Amino acid sequence: MTRFNLSEWAIRHRPLMSFFMLVIFAAGILSYVRLGRSEDPGFTVKTMVVQVSWPGATIGDTLLQITDRIERKLQEIPYLDHIRSYTAAGQSTIFVTLKDDVPTRAVSDVW
């Protein structure tokens, strides 16, 4: 009993194999042409960084006069998830994060 030899069959049916190769090549070109053009998917960053500098201020002044006041005002933002802040002498950095379920088109209005 002889085994089926695919290479031998392909050589004997050369016109059919040429047709299959042409169809596969055309399908590849068609797939490439219909491929999406966007390199990166669209996404919206839902975190904002607020940085305030007050040269010469003590850490207590910075905390009371800047960080606390800004945090209280930021609490009024709709869709607010959480606020994280870092305060140093004369420097305040506040990270404001919105909830994940915020509609993308509403993010720019919130900011």
The model's pLDDT over 39-65, given as tens digits with 9 standing for 90+, comes to 777 778 889 999 999 899 899 999 999
Q: What homologous superfamily is domain 47-110 in, according to CATH? A: Multidrug efflux transporter AcrB pore domain (3.30.70.1430)
* pLDDT of 18 over the 80 cut: yes
CA 27 to CA 14: how far, in whole Å? 20
Beta bridge partners of 37: none
* Average pLDDT for the chain: 89
SS3 25: helix
Residue 102's pLDDT is what?
84
Average pLDDT over residues 23-27: 97
* Domain range list for the chain: 1-37, 47-110
CA 69 to CA 66: how far, in whole Å? 5
CA 37 to CA 6: how far, in whole Å? 39
Sequence-distant (6+) residues with CB within 8 A of 55 are 90
The model's pLDDT over 32-41, given as tens digits with 9 standing for 90+, comes to 998 877 777 7
